[in-house]
A and B are shown apart, each in its own frame.
Chain A
Amino acid sequence: MEISKELFERVPAEEKNLNRIVRPSETYWQDVWRRLKANKLAMAGLFFVIFITVLAIVGPWFSKYDYRTQDFSIANMSPSAEHWFGTDQFGRDLFVRILYGARISLTVGYAVSILNFTIGVLYGGIAGYVGGKVDNFMMRIVDILLSIPSTIYVILLMLIFDAGLTSIIIALAITSWVGMARIVRGQILSLKQQEFVLAARTIGASSTRILLRHLIPNSMGPIIVTLTLAIPSAIFSEAFLSFIGLGVSAPMASWGVLASEALQGYQLYPYQLFFPAGAISLTLFAFQLLGDGLRDALDPKMRK
């Protein structure tokens, strides 16, 4: 058969582009952000978290009250224009005390999760990557640590350290990284079987490089989700420890301390309990929403 020129047709311009990828190309993180933005609840959580963090940092500078000056003439005032959240039994402005409390509670939350991240990721990463006996040994230690209720160590550790912010952070960090280590190890175990790791090893990349440059960045999704959920749990543990009297010492007060102090007179002055308890609940709620949204956004299977 002769192929004549007539058999050919010029492709119209619009069809030329048919093979092009329909969606604009975007990186993984752009994609995550796009999907997170679509999740209204998660965005509300994110904004609240940013809002309360900024407020905790700058808020106290703009107030004429401080957290420790007592004035008995204005003790136990109900919320008013002068004192937004009222005053406590020593006449201290409750709004300012809650802002200072936010500093403490959020510092604990963030600091514990950073330590948690560092220890947990390295420990889990090494266990998962090296594998074998080392993995077995390292994970049994984790099992032992997990089998003892963390409140017990925290209280025991608090006996060794003096009560205070630093020791709370250390005590909580020491006990909270095990969950993270398990998740990271699971991720690494499945990732290290994949071809890109083999490729990296073939061209002679060192173990450290493979771990830090390939494996851990690829397990970032679950890590970040665990992290967002670790922050509220640290805040809550601190509130609980302060509530039972192991927290920061007076007149500094975290949200837990504020709630605990308000409990003495909650039947007469319920607002003194309501505001710090509300602050704890809202913040925990916001972090939970954000964490939940991030989990969906980071999960490749949920991609649309």
Chain B
Amino acid sequence: MRKRGVKLTTLVLALVFALGLLAGCAKGGGGAAQVIRYNLGAEPKTLDPALNAAVEAGTIIENVFEGLMRLDEKDRPIPGVAERYEKSADGLKYTFYLRKNAKWSDGKPVTAKDFEYAWKRALDPNTAAEYAYQLYYLKNGEAYNTNKATADQVGVKALDDYTLEVTLEAPTPYFLSLMAFPTYMPVRKDIVEGNSNWATKPETYIGNGPFKMTQWLPKDKIVIEKNENYWDAKRVKLAKVEMRMLEDATAALSAFRSGQLDYIESPPSQEVPNMLKSGEAQALPYLGTYFYEINVSDKAASVNPAAAKVLKDARVRKALSLAIDRKALVDNVLKGGQTPATTFVADSVVVDEKGNRFKTKDYYKPEGDVAEAKRLLAEAGYPDGSGFPEITITYNTGTGHQNIAQAIQEMWRKNLNINVKLENQEWKVFQVTRTQKQYLIARGGWIADYNDPMTFLDMWMSNSGNNDVGYNNPEYDRLIAAAKKEADPAKRVSLLHQAEDLLMKDMPLIPLYYYNNIVAIKPYVKGVTKSQLGFVFFDTGYVQK
């Protein structure tokens, strides 16, 4: 026996050696190393599924965790941890049956209790999750989040380890798509409780998705590797994804061209037209709107009282919006084939399975209307900008945002004779500035959480954690609440249209353009899906050289 053992060791050694050689050869030829190097673009503020509100971190969460459902390449829900589900006739109750072989990356089974815990945790007022309202669809979700109900009353219950019963407030046509959204990911009580840093260390960042995080070097890279404990691990071909955090688009492009990155998003705008022409980059659909937020809350006064006062006037906000030539902005500054935004809800958002779009009108011309803007400003008491205080646009560091801000600064100066100061902040700092409403005008971008106008509109309800502008209009809240309860699709859309009308009348935000996604991918990277919602799914990806 012993002898054999020795022989075996020799054999193994020889095999390892031979494999090593093969692997060495492989780089040039056939079986390429299954590693993709992707540029995340920014250091995530948090990777905690309940606390995250940013798209970059969302990409990591989507790959490290798996919800009850996943999204296919067309963003349609397909079974994830849930093997199958039952939906009651009135659409108010879902029963999910979890697959028994779903495991966490440390080998423990994924149970219905993990979902119940995670959802209640995100709703817990003490967690203070910005995205808590994403779970308001659950019965008593909002009530619990606002301290009006107890955790036990929330409409989610693990009947046993593998059965989860969910009760909703109102029939929600897109509820299954939501099951794939980061906030709905399961987390483990034994890991999360009492350890507020669990999501920052690879050892405690335990997920149940196709990948697991193995390294996080702040400001440098996050590495996720294939999770062998994933129930469908045989489907995952990639061994490793290295996510770099190059904030500077030019640097990222150089790294891409020199072969240090395989997948980058949003290359520098100057380069985009040529990259699209040469096929180096491609434009993908993206459900999102780029806009400027105007701080209409009382906190704006602590930034600059005079400017806060003028921005409280809806006429001023409208004048600012109309003085922007969005067409020039898109054609000359962005140059990436985007569309000027004339509504807040992104133009490709649909309202039914047939693909009918929500957008039915333009609230203003893409070129703007300078004469009307001047008239409104004069009416508000600042003819030709006289007496108008200096206002500040705050944006996160990035050449693209800076270019847009510079163009708008000049449009406001030229058209309205208003002085604008520009201020850039690092992404992490900027997110805090925005949520704490310590700005006058800030850059905003909203990517749909699911393909429905509601995702664009319910964030401006007065109790929403993402309502960074402090917009508070009871009539608006009423319309959205009514739309959420409305079972008739046509009436629901009509309510949402009324809500958008109101939002564009009050104008606490200035839509600028609808996003599209410019990505540059090396030809040997295959199968990686970029969702219209912004996330990148690596589970289907592989490298073929």
Contacts and interface: CB of A to CB of B under 8 A. Distances in A.
B271 A69 contact: no
A265 B272 CA distance: 10
A145 B442 CA distance: 37
A83 B270 CA distance: 20
A70 B270 contact: no
Interface stretch (A11-19, A133-141, A219-227, A243-251): A243-251
Nearest to A272: B270
B332 interface: yes
A75 interface: yes
A264 B269 contact: yes
A268 B409 CA distance: 25
A69 B402 contact: no
Interface string A91-113: 00000000000000000000000
Contacts of A89: 270, 332-333, 403
Nearest to A68: B410
A35 to B, nearest CB: 47
Interface stretch (B33-41, B142-150, B419-427): B419-427
Given A69-B414, A89-B333, A249-B423, A264 B407 contact: no
A75 B249 CA distance: 21
A266 B257 CA distance: 14
B405 interface: yes
A249 B271 contact: no
Interface string A154-193: 0000000001000000000000000000000000000000
A245 B397 CA distance: 8
A72 B406 contact: no
Contacts of A267: 271
A263 B250 contact: yes
B414 A249 contact: no
B328 interface: yes
Contacts of B10: none
Secondary structure call for the B interface: helix
B436 interface: no
A240 interface: no
A252 to B, nearest CB: 10
Contacts of A274: none
A140 B154 CA distance: 65
A43 to B, nearest CB: 40
B413 interface: yes
B406 A251 contact: yes
Interface in A39-98: 68-70, 72, 75-76, 89-90
A285 interface: no
Interface in B244-287: 249-250, 268-271, 274
A256 to B, nearest CB: 14
A298 B406 CA distance: 48
A251 B399 CA distance: 14
Interface of B: 249-250, 268-271, 274, 328, 331-333, 397, 399, 402-403, 405-407, 409-410, 413-414, 421-424
